[in-house]
Amino acid sequence: MKIAVGYTKTGCDNIIEAFSKGVADSGDSILEVKTRDDVWKIEQADAMVQVAESGRSEVLEYYCGSDTIDDFHFIKTYMGLKQIELKKPRLIIDSGVLKDSRFVSDEERYFSVGLNGIKGRAKYFNTDSPSDRWEKRGLRTKPWRVDGDHVLIIGQSKKGAGLLHVGSKALDEREKYWNTPSDYYEDLPRRIRKFAPNRKILFRGHMTGASIAPSYTLENMEAFETSVENHVPISEHLKNAWCAITRTSNGAVDALLEGIPVITEDRVCLAHSVAENSIKKIDSIKSPPMSSYVQWLYDMAYVEWSLDEMRKGLPWQHFRKHICKPT
């Protein structure tokens, strides 16, 4: 197979090159797409791989023909559009899921790898996964909380791709009421207060500094902005939390690992299957069945891979059998 490898994010050449080595060592050919002059190679490829998915601002810049869009963002958006046009498989490498941190070296991190999307929009071929990868990681979960004080809202970025689906296609009947990312988070504190009138609300902003945030605060509500320079681990805000609420943030996974129940109303959130899916149940929220939770942990361990595993071709071999062209 011929694989178009897109250089699509500043400072991430080491990630895409680790994945490329695994592809090449598995016997497949690499077509490097490093500048916009290289995008013709995608037509010759059987599949694509890139780091990160385009956000709203990047797609807008691309369609407006902005002179300021750099090659990284151009290629990132172009590959996404070619996936649709040519119906070619596209693997997307993104942030990790289980205990991920941007404050350790890439060699210590794990990165998610999904087909044709990110988060719950991607295919991972990980249903009913064995326990081996989870056990190898040596990760630990905490007992489920049975009490707690505040409700933690986990905010998300205006620029990120995690909410790109919002407003583009209704996931269900409720979607029409929240047709932009801002609409959902603007309405959320009032909806929480309706069903949990006495609980404190803590809003945690996204560390990029481009966080979607409600334009108001209610009584007994506090907003906390975090950033790369002023970073506070989410574990601090989860201390003594009754539950955590978000739309699609992977912070929901952090909450579950801390033993904190989660509410998410969006199927794109990777925690959706083991979370409560209705704000109405916020004051009587329950933890997921243990058997479902444990299997979900095993499945999540097959969502993400280390750079060393990428160099060995493990994620490529995991996906290759599903995307290989019939002979």
Tens digit of pLDDT per residue, the chain (327 long)? 999 999 999 999 999 999 999 999 999 999 999 999 999 999 999 999 999 999 888 888 888 876 778 999 999 999 999 999 999 999 999 999 999 988 899 999 999 999 999 999 999 999 999 999 999 999 999 999 888 999 999 999 887 888 888 875 545 555 555 567 788 899 999 999 999 999 999 999 887 767 788 889 999 999 888 766 777 889 999 999 999 999 999 999 999 999 999 999 999 999 999 999 999 999 989 889 999 999 999 999 999 999 999 999 999 999 999 987 543
pLDDT attached to residue 178 = 57
pLDDT attached to residue 174 = 54
Cα–Cα distance, 38 to 74 (Å, whole number): 11
H or E, element range at 142: none
In this prediction the pTM is 0.93
**Beta-strand (E) ranges in 163-265?**
201-204, 221-224, 241-245, 262-263
pLDDT attached to residue 183 = 86
Cα angle 110, 113, 115; round to 5:
170
- Identify which of 167, 206, 204, 202 has the alpha carbon closest to the alpha carbon of residue 184: 167
pLDDT attached to residue 286 = 85
Domains of the chain and CATH, by start: 2-126+303-323 (3.40.50), 150-299 (3.40.50)
The values of phi and psi at residue 139, to 5°, are -75, 155
Distance of CA 216 to the CA centre of its chain: 27
Cα angle 195, 199, 201; round to 5:
100
